[in-house]
Chain A
Amino acid sequence: MKQKQRRIDLQPWQDSKAKPYIHLEGVSKEFNGVLAVDDVTLSIFQEEFFSLLGPSGCGKTTLLRMLSGFEMPTKGKIYIDGVDVTRRPAYDRPVNMMFQSYALFPHMTVEQNIAFGLKQERIPRAEIQERVKEVLKLVQMEKYGSRAPHQLSGGQKQRVALARSLVKRPKLLLLDEPLAALDKRLREQTQFELVNIQEKVGITFIMVTHDQEEAMTMSTRLGVMDHGRLRQVSTPNEVYEYPNSEYVADFIGSINKFEGLVTEVDDNHILVDSEETGSELYVGHSADAPVGSHVKVAIRPEKMMIDHAAPNQKKNVTKGIVRDIGYLGDVSIYHVELKSGKIVLATQPNLVRLAERPVTWDDTVYLFWRAENSIVLTA
């Protein structure tokens, strides 16, 4: 099947001339002297599925509420499709929100819930009916139009909430933890559905979530937030492979970090001397770290190789004893204790059955990795 070429596949954020669709400029929000959102500048492009990711209290929900118009920024400006909406109230913005609690009106049927927003626009009744029907079909809830919200399951409520926020065809749809109330299986299935629907309707989505897996699978780009600040904005792949700070590296997935001193640096590599590993660490990219400065070299557990035999390399290698093995079915996580006492994680796919596993408890093993798979964290 041939896929429609979408604007977003062109990666407009790579193009310096591309015009952002949603633009936040130095947006801050203060609550009783506490900065909930601290000077956020962010551009989001049309048809993007953007995720704001962060722990609770990091300001991501406040940012979403400022986009929806429920909160007014203390400082800064918000533009949607070139129009300054900073001071516009929620009812006067081309933005709709899907609430975490779904916020379906309990005294209205599914159809009445969905028609609510259209009635506010004084759209003719026939058109309302048609659009309600269309959107119910989109979320596969055609048969439930006359049900009351309390007669629906969690997944069905979620669909109705989505339909209600989509039916007005907003320029921007905000999703506040849209899948948090669903159980794991349903959540995974719904993730893809939501992305499919987004591609179909072509509306720009901004989602708030604390679930990194959700953000990774669904988004075109994501922004990692911490203490009201945006720490990194990039594609899921880039954020995972090239976190720009220790905070982001820790927040997304797990990562091994070795402290050390920079001994050599040039345009395409850095050499770090680490006591923790007892070897020199060669990183295959440059970083803003002068010789003699303290840095951390980070390697994802799945990029660690593990073997009884010493590898054919002198750099990027360390030795330790297997203390623990976490068996997850598809992969196993080896907890290897180095001489320094540091525990290093290495994930290996379970290519053979458990009983035939070559590396087991209390084995002395070598851990090693390729130079291009490690990164230097300076912040």
Chain B
Amino acid sequence: MKSILQKLKLNFTSPFWVTVIPFGWLLLFFLIPFLIVLKISLSDLKFGLPPYAPLIEWTSEGLLIIKINLTNYTFIGTDSLYLFAYLDSLAIALLGTIGCLCIGYPMAYGIAKASPSKRTILLMLIILPFWTSFLLRVYAWIGILSPQGYINTLLINLGLISSPLSLIDNTFATVLGIIYCYLPFMILPLYAFLEKIDHTLLEAAYDLGARPFQAFIRIIWPLSRPGVIAGSLLVFIPAVGEFVIPELLGGSQTLMIGKVIWNEFFTNRTWPVAAALAVIMLVFLILPIAIFQRYQEQQVRFLDAE
């Protein structure tokens, strides 16, 4: 192995490769696909395959024609449906993120405080659900929440309610599904940061007169903030564009942007509009990513010293 690399003069630990590999990855799997989507979003609609007109065209007279079509974007602005879909998506993703944080933080803190042998088991339990198909796990919630589902059956049998509660096909079920599916993405980065916090800092705070709650607010919370941000972004960003969960649990009244994009692509076959929607969503999401980046740099500065 080594000799082959030497023959090829590839030293993957050299500064050149260390930078080229991640950048190459981003170029191949992020920038190029994004540029393709951007290109489609600026194209004209066309019947056929692919269902959009090319952006750059050589005419028979040897003219190079570049047609940039911004109407897809202006069209999105004219129909308030899209705006509401965006806002609903952001709101649902935000609720889901807050829910994940409220449930995930104590769990992550508990795992970080557990003895090393218990920690491994607890982390396994967090990751274990991933071994079942995502789709199946969301589907299972239908069985739990539907009018004939476990919860309603139980409550009716106990005589607490007479007619089933509407637990499914609404925003509540969507948020619940998001919290359930994305919880590990919140717990794992939170755990990673909480586990790194030196326990003597907490003792120092007690020693200086801080009660447990104050010590938490003034020491643990600020030091775990990068983990909170990392976890929140890992939940929030994919949740905004979530398609499966609102499709299965949200019913017709939940209109998230992922579903709208899907409809544009596959039902309406208006690829350029769908692409434009995706580009706008990405622009929305760049902001939180930039904030995350800043905090990560700050954290690196802390850790440098230790």
List the interface of chain A (C-beta within 8 A of B).
68-70, 89-91, 95-97, 99, 101, 103-107, 116-117, 120-121, 148-151, 164-165, 168
Given the complex, which residues of A lie within 8 Å of B211, measured CB to CB? 91
Q: Provided the pairs A96-B207, A120-B214, A168-B208 are in contact, do residues A103 and B201 lie with their beta carbons within 8 angstroms?
A: yes
Q: In the complex the two chains form, is B209's CB within 8 Å of A106's CB? A: no
B306 at the interface (CB under 8 A from A): yes
Q: In the complex the two chains form, is A168's CB within 8 Å of B209's CB? A: yes
Cross-interface CB contact of A117 among B200, B209, B222, B302, cutoff 8 Å:
B209
B304 at the interface (CB under 8 A from A): yes
Can you list the 10 inter-chain pairs with the closest CB atoms, starting with the nearest? Answer: A150-B305, A117-B208, A120-B209, A103-B204, A90-B206, A103-B200, A97-B207, A91-B206, A106-B302, A107-B222
Q: 19 A-B pairs, CB-CB below 8 angstroms? A: A70-B207, A90-B203, A91-B208, A91-B211, A96-B207, A96-B208, A97-B203, A101-B198, A103-B198, A103-B200, A103-B201, A103-B203, A104-B204, A105-B201, A105-B219, A106-B305, A116-B210, A120-B210, A168-B208
Q: In the complex the two chains form, is B301's CB within 8 Å of A107's CB? A: no
Q: In the complex the two chains form, is B204's CB within 8 Å of A105's CB? A: yes
Given the complex, which residues of A lie within 8 Å of B302, measured CB to CB? 106-107, 150
Q: How many residues of B contact A (CB 8 A)?
A: 23
Given the complex, which residues of A lie within 8 Å of B205, measured CB to CB? 105, 116
Given the complex, which residues of A lie within 8 Å of B208, measured CB to CB? 91, 96, 116-117, 120, 164-165, 168
Q: Once A and B bind, how many residue pairs between them come within 8 Å at the CB atom?
A: 70
Bound-state Cα–Cα, A168 to B205, Å: 13
Q: Mark B208-230, 1 if CB is under 8 A from A, else 0.
A: 11110011001100110000000
Q: A97-B203, A101-B198, A107-B302 are in contact. List 16 more A-B contacts (CB 8 A).
A: A91-B207, A91-B209, A91-B215, A96-B207, A97-B204, A105-B204, A106-B223, A107-B222, A116-B205, A116-B208, A120-B209, A150-B302, A150-B305, A165-B208, A168-B208, A168-B209
List the interface of chain B (C-beta within 8 A of A).
198, 200-201, 203-211, 214-215, 218-219, 222-223, 301-302, 304-306
A114 nearest in chain B by CB position: B208
Q: In the complex the two chains form, is A91's CB within 8 Å of B200's CB? A: no
- Smallest CB–CB gap between B300 and chain A, Å? 11
- Smallest CB–CB gap between B211 and chain A, Å? 5
Given the complex, which residues of B lie within 8 Å of A151, measured CB to CB? 305
Q: Provided the pairs A91-B211, A150-B304 are in contact, do residues A70 and B201 lie with their beta carbons within 8 angstroms?
A: no
Given the complex, which residues of B lie within 8 Å of A99, measured CB to CB? 200, 203-204
Bound-state Cα–Cα, A164 to B208, Å: 8
- Smallest CB–CB gap between B306 and chain A, Å? 7
Given the complex, which residues of A lie within 8 Å of B203, measured CB to CB? 70, 90, 97, 99, 103
Bound-state Cα–Cα, A236 to B219, Å: 40
B197 nearest in chain A by CB position: A106
Q: In the complex the two chains form, is B306's CB within 8 Å of A106's CB? A: yes
B215 nearest in chain A by CB position: A91
- Smallest CB–CB gap between B44 and chain A, Å? 54
- Smallest CB–CB gap between B220 and chain A, Å? 11
Bound-state Cα–Cα, A120 to B206, Å: 10
Bound-state Cα–Cα, A244 to B178, Å: 70
Bound-state Cα–Cα, A168 to B207, Å: 11
Given the complex, which residues of B lie within 8 Å of A95, measured CB to CB? 207
Cross-interface CB contact of A89 among B206, B218, B219, cutoff 8 Å:
B206
Bound-state Cα–Cα, A70 to B207, Å: 8
Bound-state Cα–Cα, A96 to B288, Å: 42
Bound-state Cα–Cα, A91 to B223, Å: 21
Cross-interface CB contact of B305 among A69, A89, A149, A165, cutoff 8 Å:
A149
Q: In the complex the two chains form, is B206's CB within 8 Å of A70's CB? A: yes
- Smallest CB–CB gap between A264 and chain B, Å? 56
Q: Provided the pairs A99-B200, A101-B198, A101-B200 are in contact, do residues A150 and B301 lie with their beta carbons within 8 angstroms?
A: yes
Q: Provided the pairs A70-B203, A99-B203, A105-B204 are in contact, do residues A121 and B301 lie with their beta carbons within 8 angstroms?
A: no
Bound-state Cα–Cα, A99 to B219, Å: 16
B199 nearest in chain A by CB position: A103
Q: In the complex the two chains form, is A107's CB within 8 Å of B223's CB? A: yes
Interface hub of A68, A90, A95, A165 (most chain B Cβ within 10 A): A90
Given the complex, which residues of A lie within 8 Å of B219, measured CB to CB? 105
